[in-house]
Amino acid sequence: MRYKLFGRSGMRVSEICLGAMTFGGESGFGAAQDECRKIFDAFIDAGGNFIDTANMYTGGTSERMLSEFIAAERDRLVLATKYTNNMQPDDPNAGGNHRKNMVHALEASLKRLDTDYVDLYWVHMWDGTTPVDEIMRALDDMVRAGKVLHVGVSNWPAWIISYANAIAERNGWTPFSGMQLQYNLVERSIEADFFDLARFQDMAITPWSPLAGGLLTGKFNRDADEKAREGARLTTTRWSPITDEKLDVAEKATEIANEIGCTTAQVALSWMRQNDRATVIPIIGAKTVDQLKENLACLEVELDDTQIQALNEIGAPTPTYPASLFVNPHIKRMIHGEMADRIDNPHDPR
C-alpha cells in the first residue's frame, strides 16, 4: 500500500479507501458485525488508513460499528463521515446542508463514532436550498471548534464547488480539499470538468462505486442469469441504467483480465489507480473479507500503456459543449495557427 496527499490538506491517506456503506445489514446488501470486523482488520493489515462512512449508512449502524473497530488506533486513522441526508423524515430541518442540520448531524456522528473529532467531514449532497457562503462559514466553524480537521464535498456541480472554494479563500475559511464523486470505467462524466478543477485547486478525488455497483466484477454480462447476479448491488441500486455501451466496456475489462491473469475488478481498480490526470483514491466496499482481499490485490496489478489506452478509448465520454471545442483540431489551429501541434501544453484536455 502506498499513500497519497489528500489534496491541499497535507494528510497522507492510503491509495485505497475502505468504504463502510456495507457495515450492517439494514441496507439489504451489507454484512454482519463479525464479518465487518474481519474486513476492517484485513484493510488495516494491508496498510490502509483511510475509512469512509456517512451518518445515514445502514441507519447509523456503520458509524456505531466503526466506533468499536477504530478505538485501539483512532489517531493513526483518517476517518471521514458525511452529512446532508435526512435521518428523521418527519422533521424538515433534519436534512439539508444548513447550519442547524450540520451541527446536529456532526454531534450525532461523533457520538456514534465515539470520538471527539473526524479527520474529514463531507457535505454529502447539494441540497439546492442553502446559500454556499452559509455552508462554508458553518464548516469553518466546525474546524475552528476542533471537531473537524478538513472538509470535502460530494455530489455537487463543479461550478458550485469552485465558487464555494473561492468564497472560503476570500474570507479565510477552510476550503474543500477533496471531492467524492461517482467515477468508474463505465461512468466517466466527471472527466469533463472535475479533473481540471481537482488539479487547479489541489483537491483529491475519491470515487464512489468504482466497480459500478458490480457491473465491473466480471460476474455480470449479457448472458448472466439471475443467480449470477444475486446479491449484487446492481439489483438494489438505481444510480444509472445498464446499457450496451457499458456492457462493452465491462467485457473489454474482462478480456484484459483474462490476458494478464487477474480479475475484472482488479483491472477496473488498477485503471483508476494508475490515473495520471488527478489524485484519485477509489473507495472500495465489501460484503466479505475474501472480497476485500481480492479487490486489494489490484495493488499488485499494473496495466501497460496499451491496455490503459484500450480502456480509455472504449469508455471515453463524448465531450459536450464547450469542452467539445477545446479538443477539436480545427479550433486549435484557429487559435494557435500552424504551430498548434508544436506547443506543449500540460493543461490541454485529453
Positions marked active-site? 57
Burial of 261 (0-12, 13-18, 19+ CB in 10 A): exposed
| CA distance linking residue 205 with residue 6, whole number of Å | 9
DSSP states of 190-252: GGGTHHHHHHHTT-EE--B-TTGGGGGGSS-STT--HHHHTT-GGGT--SS---HHHHHHHHH
C-alpha grid cell, residue 21: 456503506
Residues in the chain: 350
Closest CA to 118 of 147, 144, 97: 147
Instruction: Tell which phi-psi region holds residue 7, choosing left (phi > 0), alpha (psi between -120 and 50) or beta.
Output: left
- What three-state secondary structure class fits 87? coil
| Alpha-carbon torsion (98, 11, 349, 200), positive or negative | positive
* 179: β partners: 153, 205
- Residue 78's alpha-carbon distances to 118, 154, 250, 330, in angstroms, are 8, 17, 32, 47
- DSSP code at position 92: T
Residues near 196 by beta carbon (within 8 Å), at least 6 away in sequence = 347, 349
* 151: β partners: 121, 176
* CA 48 distance to own-chain centroid: 16
CA trace torsion 279, 285, 289, 295 (10° rounding): -40
